[in-house]
Amino acid sequence: MIGITRGIATLVGAGVAGFLIWLAAQVGTGSAGEYWTTYGLVAAAGLTIALSQILGGWTKWGWPRLSGGVFLLGFLPVLVTGGWVLLARQPADFFNTSNWSRDLGVAGVVSDLGELLAAVAFGVGLTFGLTFDTSGPRRAVEVHETAVERPLPARDAPEPQAAVRAADEPPETGSVPAPDRRFGLRRTRSGS
């Protein structure tokens, strides 16, 4: 049953990703706005593929959550390098990343990867989608509490303090001793 669910989720995810890539092809890359729209849609297609696997039960079912370690160690380096390539190859080079790439000695790599911008954008989106995981279904936790009765310590007080205590306590009605409360527990005094 899980294979069927994953298969359907993968088919739907691939269909949505294919539509986003088709839509990106319709936009073009003539201006900076069109460039970022196009590659943003391609990155969204990569994100769609990753999320389809999570929603299809590839992991542990349950609610999706962001994994901090994967985000910091996996996604952020991909975002920095992929974002650098996308910035360097945009039509209007207003961030001067081409000059910075030459200064850092990475202009050759940026130029080579610039021929495959769609794959770079798709990879950034896919990697972001892989930062999500599920926590699994919630399990009922059984709590076993046992009550332990402990004897109350004897209260030996000098005579003057005992007289003050006796005067401060309200008179007892009947033969039932007054309850003694400590730390949220109700205890009764034993003895007389």
The pLDDT tens digits for 132-172 are 887 766 677 777 777 777 766 666 555 555 555 555 566 55
Domain ranges for the chain: 2-134
User: Of 6, 45, 49, nearest to 25 (Cα)?
Assistant: 45
Q: Express each pLDDT in 2-46 by its tens digit.
A: 678 888 988 999 999 999 999 999 998 888 899 999 999 999 999
How many residues in the chain?
192
CA distances for 100 relative to 5, 87, 92, 115, 186, angstroms: 47, 11, 15, 19, 73
Q: Which residues, in sequence order, are CB contacts of 133 under 8 Å at separation 6+?
A: 54, 59, 60, 64, 65, 67, 70
**118 touches 29 (CB < 8 A):** no
The residue written with tokens 């911008």 in the block is 117
Reported as a single tens digit per residue, the pLDDT across 177-187 is: 555 555 555 55
Task: Provide the CA 59 distance to its chain's centre, in angstroms.
Answer: 14
Kindly tell me if the per-residue pLDDT of 71 is higher than 70: yes
| Cα 170 to Cα 143: distance, rounded to the nearest angstrom | 39
Residue 74 or residue 158, greater confidence: 74
Whether the Cβ atoms of residue 17 and residue 67 lie closer than 8 Å to each other: no
Helix (H, G, I), strand (E, B) or coil at 115: helix
What does the pLDDT read at residue 126?
Answer: 95
What residues are paired with 182 via a beta bridge? 185
Residue that has been written with the tokens 């691939």 in this structure: 14
Q: For residue 5, give both structure tokens.
A: 């669910």
